Amino acid sequence: MEREEFLKVYRHSLSHILCKAMRELFGEEVQYAIGPQIDDGFYYDFKLPRTITNEDFKSIENKMREILKRKEDWTRKEVTREEALEIFKDQKYKLELIQDLPEGELITTYNTGDDFIDLCTGPHVENSQDLLNTAFQIKSTSGSYWRGDEKNDQLQRVYVYAFPDKQQLKDHLALVKEAMERDHKKLGPQLGLFMFHETAPGMPYWLPRGWKTFNALLDFWRGIHEEHGYMEISAPVINNQKIWATSGHWGHYKENMFIIPGEKEDESDYYAAKPMNCPNAIMVYKNELRSYRDLPFRISQVDVIHRKEKSGELNGLFRVQEFHQDDAHILVTEDQIASEIADIMSIAGEIYGTFGLTYVAELSTRPDDFMGDIEVWNKAEAELKEILDNQYGEGNYEINEGDGAFYGPKIDLKMRDALGREWQMGTIQLDFQLPLNFDMKYAAQDGSVKQPVMIHRAIFGSLERYIGILIENYKGAFPFWLSPYQVGVVPIKPEHNEYAKKVVSALKEAGVRVEVDYSEKNMNGKIKTFRSFKNPYTVVVGDKEAETETLSLTIRGQKQQLHDVPLQKFVEMCKTMNREHSKELITEA
Amino acid sequence: MEREEFLKVYRHSLSHILCKAMRELFGEEVQYAIGPQIDDGFYYDFKLPRTITNEDFKSIENKMREILKRKEDWTRKEVTREEALEIFKDQKYKLELIQDLPEGELITTYNTGDDFIDLCTGPHVENSQDLLNTAFQIKSTSGSYWRGDEKNDQLQRVYVYAFPDKQQLKDHLALVKEAMERDHKKLGPQLGLFMFHETAPGMPYWLPRGWKTFNALLDFWRGIHEEHGYMEISAPVINNQKIWATSGHWGHYKENMFIIPGEKEDESDYYAAKPMNCPNAIMVYKNELRSYRDLPFRISQVDVIHRKEKSGELNGLFRVQEFHQDDAHILVTEDQIASEIADIMSIAGEIYGTFGLTYVAELSTRPDDFMGDIEVWNKAEAELKEILDNQYGEGNYEINEGDGAFYGPKIDLKMRDALGREWQMGTIQLDFQLPLNFDMKYAAQDGSVKQPVMIHRAIFGSLERYIGILIENYKGAFPFWLSPYQVGVVPIKPEHNEYAKKVVSALKEAGVRVEVDYSEKNMNGKIKTFRSFKNPYTVVVGDKEAETETLSLTIRGQKQQLHDVPLQKFVEMCKTMNREHSKELITEA
């Protein structure tokens, strides 16, 4: 059995054991709904006579183990609809599930011992003793709704970690602990990077330190895009309803938009905060007559955008209602699609590579309800495949056949972080539709008037989300060039303040982000504070340093200090790390 | 007679002459409303039998001159209310004006010759011949409403330039022409700086070039504020209604806010795009417990803000609905008010000085309905006066007694541009109220808990508006450090592209904003394009330059070219101008 299949059978079987345990602990009135496997185990939804708490976890786990030790046989049985309705007559959720099954077909049930039966297609283990070596642990409980609909009964969901053996569970728990320590929602406020407040749910407040990192990331992004011929604009945050009607957002995305009614009842007098940048980029394109000489026409922008989310779905910087997309819209001729996509892939490589993050690509191709010319689609898809073949080797990337949007094929870029977690990052989306909706044109070389193809693309996806990922990936210890403050300066005594000022100004002159503590606190207290913010370097200056124009350096992550570093040498080290966007700190002078 | 008084009498008298002329031209049915003097002349509002156009201007002016030549006497007469009602029985607007005058008092009228009378307090000239040397010219007409209320009659307003003599009118017309040529609404789109579109009225689109200037200005501003200990944040654009209720905006500023209704009818579920930054700055202050050691606590931010304006009041970048305020909020102890205000004044001096713009200050003091402790007000006002006395000399600045907001005194900073026009720029506003509304605290040195004083302040006021002013002040020719592109590079032939690349990369490395034209256009065409965008330098490279690693420079505003400028030398020139924010271009190598 493959690991995946094995996990599925074991986890699914354990979910029946949990169900049986709950019935034995809480009685016949327990209503059991569904219990699928998930990434790290499974969950099961119950209607219980009382709310269960962390205190109950141990006794539930013990009961499960006790059941396993009974070494009961599992029996698969096929029954008619009528028999199933009779078997589950006291289980309202199972009855509903049975009603939904196709008429006339047999229904599968599984018995675990004589006294527990569940509705299930299987497969399962043959005897509970097969599960004796598995390792499981209740993770948490949460409220849920029958069929995920808040109009239905509220249930209690029990999440359980489940792995084939103790070592794997142990490894996983270590990973979970590590992830918790890296949790950006905890580290962000702790490091003074960002905060949230109920006055603006899901809309981050960038605190002074976080805003420095944000801007350092933005500068890096700008530099690369400038090199690749992008022109950055900034466009209105609020637009009239008419533009959203033309773009199709009013028809298909209205629920996610923050809408501002106008003076009149008429919807065309309404405004909305933009959820996407495309229409405004189009207004800029259309501001002048364009010719083939202007193409590829590359407009980038990082304006703030707003998208309504259900409050339960907000999640730190990962799922927000207000964010900055590192957006770009490129207008090309059909002949320029291939070279432009190749250029975007090269930008993506440059950017992700700087962070040492590996990424993979997925191609989504023409759906049945595609619009436009099939020849254009075929050519574009062939070109995208060729680019991906060259980059990853033929067949070494996923193709989601028929999964593209109706208006064009797309490439998704997914990244893996330090914990091996996968993140959807950039998207490169071809669009044959919007240029049509907005009647976009260019004067072709042959004198005719043609319609350009539009490419929407983002590399970070959202700067907020990307910074959230980076915080977790680096555990808050950003590379030098991204650190909010790169250097903290500690004068040992007030008489060293003057030399400290000289150090600060030499560093600032070189474009280094530096902070200094002139207070009367003792040296160790100052060093401790700067280290708590994960500043890459803490510079200590006392008599000797002032006299010789040197520095003593405390380096993040290093026990040893560096002494007698000439000031100018340190300035050069910092300049190098900024220029090269180094992943590692220089630890030798 | 002082010039001001003289102008008032002459202009006001001329407005009667206009009125008399209109009656002679358009007959007895002409209804004349009011005709006050304004900055450059006067206007008069009429109800006329037909719409007048530019074609009518000449004959109206001629009729006015003809009347002056009659050398008629002006007679002042005091009449009773009843007499006045009789005299103006056919003039509905005059009748309304008479109704509004206090009962029982005599009413003043002025006759010009025998056949024209107007309701007026005067003073006026004694005979029309006194006006013979004045110079006037009809400027324009526009629609207006009786008493400025669109529910009233629509009238035609005739604007007239009027000056004591021909030379002064000529000078003024030259100034008007100059102002038109400098009009940022014309220059902005022409130089590719910004555009507007009906999809977002009053919300600027920053085009690629303008966005570079915007960011250069922002960087400059950031550098100075960093030096002065400000911490920049970025906060949500949209906030829940509750915070606006607490701040008082919901009660007093709602009409100017873009409001987003919530799911529920309840207003507390509403959201609004922020019209001001204060409440979010307060949330950041309140995010941690603060002590006297944290004060002055200086939070700066340049987030986009939104304020609704009537569409008729929108005016390019000067009056917009979406803009970036260079905002800061400072929390201080009462003892820190003086030193903090002095520091803000020094920032203002540094910033305005960089542009070579002079500015004056106005102090607005305690109104009758002030809130808080009168001792605190007295001390604060005395301190503000002392700062202004020191800066301008006692009495050399305006004091608007009683004109402060109820929550604190303020200083307004006003600037004069190249045409001598005055602009309201920065504001420094003390606020004893918001810290109370939001229950802000700090732990004082003596262990007690106290309330800080808040200072709101902006130097530019709005980055958009300031850039608009700069465009007009510089006629689009920004100083080097603010120019969208600072250098344009022109390779004479394709074989010079390689050296051109070297030049571009040396300049970019030095932080210079550079653009290059590798196209096959001829040299003069390329130079012309770069000059049309007012790039400070156009660098021409051909055989000789490539061989000797030199440049030929075309300098904005200069006829002569500079030849044989070593590349490295030019790079250093550019670096110096950027570092020093020079007002003038370096014209010698």
pLDDT digits (tens, 9 = 90+) for B142-164: 999 999 888 999 999 999 999 99
Q: A502-511, B16-25, B352-361, B527-536: lowest mean pLDDT where?
A: B352-361
Verify that A134 and A280 share a domain, yes or no: no
| Nearest-CB residue to A238 (from B207, B273, B279) | B273
| Rounded Cα gap, residues B549 and B542, in angstroms | 10
Residue ranges for chain A with pLDDT beneath 70: 1-2
Residues B490 and B467 in one domain: no
Identify the sign of the CA torsion A31, A34, A36, A40. negative
**Which of B424, B444, B474 represents a domain boundary (last residue)?**
B474
Exposed, middle or buried, B88 (CB in 10 Å: 0-12/13-18/19+)?
A: buried
The predicted structure's pLDDT at residue A2:
66
Answer yes or no: do B123 and B209 share one domain.
no
CA distance B471 to A519: 44
Phi, psi of B487 (to 5 degrees): -140, 135
Question: Which residues in chain B touch residue A284, judged by CB atoms under 8 angstroms apart?
Answer: 195, 205, 207
- Residue A143's CB is within 10 A of a number of other CB atoms, namely 10
Q: Contact, A154 vs A143, CB < 8 A? A: yes
Residue A504 covered by a domain: yes
**Residues in chain A closer than 8 A to B267 (CB atoms):** none
Whether B460 contacts B424, CB under 8 Å: no
Q: In chain A, helix, strand, coil percent, each to 5? A: 40, 25, 35
Report whether A278 contacts B192 (CB < 8 A). no
| Chain B residues within 8 A of A519 when measuring between CB atoms | 293
Helical H runs in A393-450?
A: 434-437
φ, ψ dihedrals at B396, nearest 5°? -90, 25
Residue A585 lies in a domain: no
- CATH label of the domain that carries residue A502: 3.40.50.800
Question: Is residue B397, in this structure, part of any structural domain at all?
Answer: yes
Return the structure tokens found at A516: 């200094």
Q: What angle do CA B46, B50, B51 make, to 5 degrees?
A: 75
* Distance from C-alpha of B452 to C-alpha of B443, rounded to nearest angstrom: 10
Closest CA to A342 of A414, A434, A411: A411
DSSP states of A527-544 as a string?
Answer: HHHHHHTT-SEEEEE-HH
Catalytic residue among B31, B156, B301, B325: B325
Do B10 and B76 fall into the same domain? Answer: yes
CA distance B37 to B54: 21
Between β-strands A398-400 and A359-364, what pairing exists: parallel, antiparallel or unpaired? parallel
pLDDT digits (tens, 9 = 90+) for B60-100: 999 999 999 999 999 999 999 999 999 999 999 999 999 99
- Give strand ranges (E) for B196-265: 205-206, 231-232, 238-240, 259-260
Q: What is the DSSP letter of B224?
A: H
- Reported ipTM: 0.87
Q: Catalytic amino acids of A?
A: 278, 307, 325, 327, 329, 410, 456
Residue B61 lies in a domain: yes
* Nearest-by-Cβ selection for B237 from A233, A259, A322: A322
Residue A133 Cα, gap to closest chain B Cα (Å): 49
Q: How many domains does chain A have?
A: 3
> Hunting for tokens 């299949």 — which residue is that?
A5
* Same domain as A215, residue A81: no
Cα three-residue angle A388-A393-A397, rounded to 5 degrees = 60
User: What is the least distance, in Å, from the CA of A487 to any CA of chain B?
Assistant: 15
Of A208, A283, A304, the CB nearest to B232: A208
Taking contacts as CB-CB distances below 8 angstroms, the residues of chain A near B197 are: 283, 287
pLDDT > 90: percent of chain B = 84
At residue B2, the pLDDT reads 66
Burial of A434 (0-12, 13-18, 19+ CB in 10 A): buried
Bond into A164 cis (ω within 30): no
Please provide the distance, in angstroms rounded to a whole number, between the alpha carbons at the two ends of chain A: 55
Which residues in chain B are contacts of A234 at CB distance < 8 A?
205-206, 211, 214
Q: The dihedral of CA B235, B236, B240, B241: what is its sign?
A: positive
Contact A13, A35 (CB under 8 A): no
Is B236 in contact with A261 (Cβ distance < 8 A)? no
Same domain, A389 and A488: no
Extract the tokens encoding A173: 């728990």
Instruction: Measure CA B559 to chain center.
Output: 34
Rg of chain B over CA atoms, in angstroms? 30
Q: Tokens 């109706």 appear where?
A: A406
CA–CA dist B42, B337 (Å, integer): 44
Kindly list the distances between the CA atom of residue A303 and the CA atoms of A413, B159, B326, in Å, as whole numbers in the listed order.
22, 42, 17
- For residues B454 and B489, state if they share a domain: no
Domain-embedded: residue B399:
yes
Q: Of A143, A174, A205, which one is at a domain's C-terminal end?
A: A174
Residue A457 and residue A408 share a domain: yes
AA identity, residue B281: A
Asked whether residue B12 falls in the same domain as residue B138, the answer is yes
Do residues A282 and A299 lie in contact, with contact meaning Cβ atoms separated by under 8 Å? Answer: no
- Residue B570 lies inside a defined structural domain of this protein: yes
Residue A45 in contact with residue A101, Cβ under 8 Å? no
CA–CA dist A530, B307 (Å, integer): 41
Two tokens, residue A187: 């580290």
Name the minimum distance, in Å, from the CA of A235 to any CA of chain B. 4
Residue A182 lies in a domain: no
The CATH number of whichever domain residue B443 belongs to comes to 3.30.930.10
pLDDT digits (tens, 9 = 90+) for B480-507: 999 999 999 999 999 999 999 999 999 9
CATH number, domain at A156? 3.30.980.10
Round to whole Å and give the CA distance between A461 and A426.
Answer: 5
Q: Are B474 and B355 in contact (CB under 8 A)?
A: no
Are residues B468 and B485 part of one domain?
no
User: Cβ contact (<8 Å) for A234 and B240?
Assistant: no
Does residue B440 register a pLDDT over 70?
yes
Is B195 near chain A, with CB under 8 Å?
yes
Please say whether the beta carbons of B308 and B203 come within 8 A: no
Interface residue A273 vs chain B (CB under 8 A): yes
Radius of gyration of chain A (CA): 30
The structure tokens listed for B490 are 């022109």
Q: Is B59 within 8 Å of chain A by CB? A: no
* Whether the predicted model's global pTM rises above the 0.90 cut: no
Q: Are residues B46 and B123 both part of a single domain? A: yes
Q: What is the span of the domain harbouring residue B308?
A: 189-237+274-474
Q: Taking Cα atoms as reference points, which of B92, B66, B94, B90 lies closest to residue B81?
A: B94
User: For A243, phi and psi rounded to 5 degrees?
Assistant: -70, -35
- Number of residue pairs across A and B with CB atoms under 8 Å? 127
What share of chain B has pLDDT > 70, as a percent? 100
Residue found under tokens 């966005």: B211
Coil vs helix vs strand at A123: coil
Does residue B266 fall inside a structural domain?
Answer: no
Q: What pLDDT does residue A370 have?
A: 86
**Mean local confidence (pLDDT), B178-195:** 95
CA distance B223 to B227: 6
Q: Helices H, strands E: what count in chain B?
A: 18, 30
Strands A442-443 and A487-491: unpaired
Distance (Å) from the C-alpha of residue A519 to the closest C-alpha of chain B? 10
Q: Pick from A230, A213, A214: which is nearest to A458 by CA?
A: A230
Residue B207: list chain A partners with CB under 8 A: 233, 284, 287
What is the distance of C-alpha B492 from the center of its chain?
A: 43
Quick: pLDDT tens for B125-145: 999 999 999 999 999 999 999
Residue length of chain B = 589
DSSP secondary structure, A252-315, as one string: HTGGGS-EE--SSSSGGG-EEE-S-SHHHHHHHHTTS--BGGG-SEEEEE--EEE----GGG-B
Closest CA to A482 of A212, A226, A221: A212
3-state helix, strand, coil in chain B (%, to 5): 40, 25, 35
For residue A296, say if its preceding peptide bond is cis, omega within 30 degrees of 0.
yes
A166 shares its domain with A310: no
DSSP structural state of residue A80: -
- Domain end: A459, A474, A489, which one? A474
